[in-house]
Amino acid sequence: MTFPLKARLKPHKNSPKMVVPSINQHWLVRIVLRSISYFRKDFWLIVTLLLLIGASVLFNLLNAWPMAILVDTVLSPTPKPNWVHTLFLAPFGEGKLNRIFGMAFVAMIIRIMSDTVFMLRKMLNYRIQYNGTLRVRTELYDKMQALSLGWHGSRSQGDAIYRLSYDSLGPWGVIDTLIGSTAASVTLTAMIWIMLSRHVLLTVFALSFTPLLLLANWYFEERIRRRAFESKQTDAVMTSTMQQAIELIGLIQSFRREATESRRFTRVVERSVGASMRLHWQENLYPLTVQVVFALGSGVIFGYGGYLVYRDQFLRQVPNGLTLGDLIVFLAYLNQFWDPIGWVLGFTTKIQTFVASCDRVFTVIDEPPTIADEPDARSFPVHPRTLTLADVSFEYISERPVLREIDATIEPGQMVAFLGPSGTGKSTLLNLLPRFYDPTAGSVQLDGFDIRTLKVADVRKHMALVTQGSPLFPGTIAENIAYGCADATLQEIREAAVESGAAEFILALPEQYDTILSEGGQNLSGGQRQRLAIARALATKAPILILDEPTSSLDLKHEQWVIETLQRLRRKRTIILVTHRLETAVDCDRIFVMQEGEIVEEGTHDELLSQQGLYFRMLGYKPSST
């Protein structure tokens, strides 16, 4: 399918506007639960990850204790051991040096174990991420392939690429945020319990700054969400612009539009950068605000804790008073305390960017297909069939019909042509046959069955299509010919190449059928690409062969060759030509002449000449005077 040039050189006019969904708890819960569903198969990996997180939390909690024990019990002239100190020191005896080196050894082991567990967490994170993202991308890719040409025509290719490449990471971001918040909750609970056991009032002071964090989350949550959606949309437009420019590089260079396209690209990038910067400002102002709150809390705790140690240990000895080791542990936990509390309280704010990606992915996955099997669609084995167009009408835009009341019957083995000037609806009619679109009125039938009542795959197995663009993909020539029939033998591939006229140039290549084609087959001429496309259609052995301007890229010699090939096939397959080259249609069993979306004449070449109508004039004849 081709799009107008204007649509290719700027974001598609029908591209959806940015709509930021209104946030509510039910919507957010649905997004989260749906994201989790992609990781159900990784249940035991996630359990293992949570166990590693628990181990990581434990090692983080233990990090400060060797220093606290060293200060309060090993080096202090008045040791103040408790059960934790006794547990740590038990393996090292009563000697001072043994205990000093023992605490150094314990600190080293804790650090090594902590770093090892952290590395294992990262690797397991990667494995879970890749597994879940594979499922998201596969489902999204399959859905995009199932959606109709109309859906794809209303959106830019770059937007689809962006959703597949970047937005598909959204569900993992949601899961990662959930796991991070779970780890933070466990860490926070353990820290609060230990801090309360050391000093209740100091812990209350630490928690007193929580309302400020809630206020910061409330303020930034909506701003980050809106900026995230805006950034996603502008990035998708930038991807579309890059894709379009690369696709049309030949046109750009031939019309010397490099400078214009550069300016257009610069404007798109500037909009993308502007949206990204607005998002980054919010994303960074939020943690800065949180860190300011944390700094206030740390300052208060540091000052008040220092005063308590001075009072309880230096001004007067207070039994069970706050020790220097207690303060070291408390401050160490305090430094770790703010991060998990930020995670827990800021969960909905942190998750906004990922929710934006998820919404863009799920919107496509939930898109109802316009072309799909009916619940009771019947199987339809491949056989030669009578193709009927019964009163077919079609419109892309309401009340602007492209086709009007088309009636035609094509018997098995016939070769027919649909002729007419550009813009008469020939290519649209072609797209109705394999059910890329459905008629807005009337029906397309195979042996009297409306194809909407048949399985789509079975309908398309009956038809092999050769379009004007002759798209080819990177791979060998043999692979391209066999694309529509993966189990085709090399002999069948060669036969299709001979019938299409492609064998002549293939055999002249050094690697012949093993020749590697570049992207789009750009290392072949237009005529060679067209002949390969015809060979690909012939290799499918489909009973109905549909060709859209099959000789438009061929010289006279090879055009005649293709016509002779079609003549040889006409009794073996049904052949439908959509063309404006009259020479291609002269020997057809039936010619349908179209004008403004209607069939205005039909018959054989001789019958149409005798009518002295549009076909007669298209050949350059002048009606005889009466």
Helix, strand, or coil (residue 400): strand
Contact 287, 274 (CB under 8 A): no
Q: How far apart are CA 115 and CA 93, in angstroms?
A: 28
Question: Taking the complete model, does pTM exceed 0.85, yes or no?
Answer: no
- What pLDDT is stored for residue 520 in this prediction? 63
Q: Domains (ranges, CATH) in the chain?
A: 31-38+140-365 (1.20.1560.10), 385-462+543-621 (3.40.50.300), 473-541 (3.40.50.300)
* Pairing state between β 400-410 and 387-397: antiparallel
Percent of the chain with pLDDT over 70: 85
User: What is the spatial distance between Cα 506 and Cα 516, in angstroms, rounded to a whole number?
Assistant: 11
User: Please, what is the average pLDDT of the chain?
Assistant: 78
**Per-residue pLDDT tens for 223-279?**
777 787 777 778 777 777 777 777 666 666 666 677 777 787 788 878 887 888 888
pLDDT tens, residue by residue, 213-226: 778 777 777 777 77
Please report the sign of the dihedral spanned by the C-alpha atoms of residue 489, residue 492, residue 498, residue 502: negative
- Quote the pLDDT of residue 549: 76
pLDDT above 70 (res 18):
no
Contact at 8 Å (CB) between 337 and 213? no
pLDDT classification of 364: cutoffs 50, 70, 90: confident
pLDDT tens digits, 314-336: 777 767 777 777 777 777 776 66
Quick check: helix, strand or coil at residue 64?
A: coil
Q: Tell me which residue of 321, 227, 198, 257 sits closest to 18, measured CA to CA.
A: 227
- In whole angstroms, give the CA distance from residue 467 to residue 533: 8
End-to-end CA distance of the chain: 46
Above pLDDT 90, what percent of the chain? 0
User: Encoding tokens for residue 349?
Assistant: 């704010």
Average pLDDT rounded to a whole number, residues 6-11: 36
Contacts 24+ apart (CB under 8 A), 95-99: 99/70, 99/73, 99/74
**Alpha helical stretches, state H, 346-476:** 347-350, 352-365, 426-432, 456-461
399 versus 483: the higher-pLDDT residue is 483
pLDDT of 622 > 70? The answer is: no
pLDDT category at 4 given cuts 50, 70, 90 is very low
**16 C-beta neighbours (distance < 10 Å), count:** 11
Band of the pLDDT at 456, cuts 50, 70, 90?
A: confident
pLDDT exceeds 60 at position 613: yes
Could you count the other beta carbons within 10 Å of the beta carbon of residue 558? 20
Report pLDDT for 23.
52
Backbone angles phi, psi at 77, to 5 degrees: -65, -20
CA-closest candidate to residue 21, choices 352, 281, 274, 282:
352
**Residues forming a β-bridge with 387:** 410, 446
Model confidence band, residue 469 (pLDDT cutoffs 50, 70, 90): low
Confidence class for position 44, pLDDT limits 50, 70, 90: very high
> What number of CA atoms fall less than 13 Å from residue 152's CA on the CB side?
17
CA distance 303 to 301: 6
152-161, 601-610, 617-626: the lowest-pLDDT one: 617-626
Burial of 508 (0-12, 13-18, 19+ CB in 10 A): exposed
* Top-confidence residue, 9 or 338: 338
Identity of the highest mean pLDDT range in 96-105, 120-129, 463-472, 506-515: 120-129
The residue written with tokens 């039909």 in the block is: 602
SS3 of 445, please?
strand
Contacts of 316 by beta carbon, 8 Å cutoff, 6+ apart = none
CA–CA distance, 78 with 525 (Å, rounded to integer): 92
Average pLDDT over residues 554-568: 69
DSSP 378: B
Alpha-carbon separation of residue 212 from 289, 296, 348 (angstroms): 9, 11, 16
- Work out the number of other CB atoms within 10 angstroms of the CB of residue 407: 13
Q: What is the mean pLDDT of residues 384-389?
A: 88
Sign of CA dihedral 294, 297, 301, 302: positive
Q: How far is CA 254 from CA 31, 248, 251, 340, 595, in A?
A: 48, 10, 5, 59, 33
Query: Quick one: CA dihedral 522, 528, 534, 535, positive or negative?
Result: negative
What is d(CA 518, CA 301) in angstroms, rounded to the nearest whole number? Answer: 67
Looking only at the bridges linking them, the beta strands covering 598-603 and 544-548 are unpaired
- Return the amino acid letter for 293: V
Do the Cβ atoms of 60 and 114 come closer than 8 Å?
A: yes
Report the pLDDT value the prediction gives residue 625, as an integer from 0 to 100.
54
Residue count of the chain, please give it.
Answer: 626
Q: At residue 295, what is the residue type? A: A
pLDDT > 70? residue 161: yes
Q: Helix, strand, coil shares of the chain as percentages rounded to 5?
A: 65, 10, 25
Separation of CA 204 from chain center: 47
